[in-house]
Amino acid sequence: MSNISGAYPVHVAIIMDGNGRWAKKRFMPRIAGHKAGVESLRKIIEETGDLGIKYLTVYAFSTENWNRPKDEVNGLMNLLVNYIDNELNNLNKNGVRLNILGDMSALPTKVREKVEMALVETNKNTKLTLNIALNYGGRDEIIRAVKSIYNQGDSELIDNLDEDIFSRFLYTANIPDPDFVIRTSGEVRISNFLLWQLAYSEMYFTETLWPDFGVSEYHKALDSFKNRKRRFGKI
């Protein structure tokens, strides 16, 4: 994590909230809001790469989102497949490496296979790592890490367990913690997102709904980060 005044964050995380409300305000189905949200994501990914920010993590689908209406869940899964089909060439052109945070085993077969293909196809890109939190929950991630450590059957590992070692068992192993977290739509909570990793992240909340969150709003948020002094518990 960087504490250099005036610098861009190394890792930005975004809770992309407000798609449904955006659609409701326009008397449109919720899936229309999610489609509009994909357009916003496309712009933010491109701008993030152009700014030299190395990691972008977006909260796409939580472990709790399975409780939404079946039609909406299916629509979101189809959107992901369509996104990969439509954007894979652009991701490669812009040097974006795709990475998934979450349990892919629960995804429909078609979706899982499409995602796995995209992971392979973008694996050598180095300009920007795009982490998509998909079937992700922060508490679930921590429990999975604990079970994984226990299943190692290594008493020395447990005796020497510290924050660095524990972090290696998370989905974000070898990825720096987010410096900056943005949440759109006016909600002021983190909704089970990266609970371990956000310990010292700077937070930014905006009333803007995600489909309306464009490049100018992004720069407004980043300027807020650049003007903050990060102490990490120090004076």
Res 229: pLDDT = 82
Which one of the listed residues 17, 140, 177, 179 is annotated catalytic? 17
- Residue 212: active-site member: no
**CATH architecture of structural domain 11-137+177-226:** 3-Layer(aba) Sandwich (3.40)
pLDDT tens per residue across span 34-89: 999 999 999 999 999 999 999 999 999 999 999 999 999 999 999 999 999 999 99
Sequence letter at residue 84: I
Amino acid letter, residue 167 = S
Q: In this predicted structure, what is the pLDDT of residue 232? A: 72
164 catalytic residue (yes or no): no
- Extract long-range pairs of 43-49: CB within 8 Å, 24+ residues apart: 43/214, 43/215, 44/14, 44/213, 44/215, 44/218, 45/91, 45/94, 45/96, 45/128, 45/130, 46/94, 47/215, 47/218, 48/12, 48/128, 49/94, 49/95, 49/96, 49/127, 49/128
Name the stretches of the chain with pLDDT < 70: 1-5, 234-235
Marked catalytic residue, from 3, 19, 50, 65: 65
Q: Provide the pLDDT for residue 134.
A: 97
Residue ranges of domains in the chain: 11-137+177-226
pLDDT of residue 201: 97
The pLDDT, as a whole number, for residue 84 is 97
pLDDT at residue 1 in the model: 45
φ, ψ for residue 158 (rounded to 5)? Answer: -70, -40
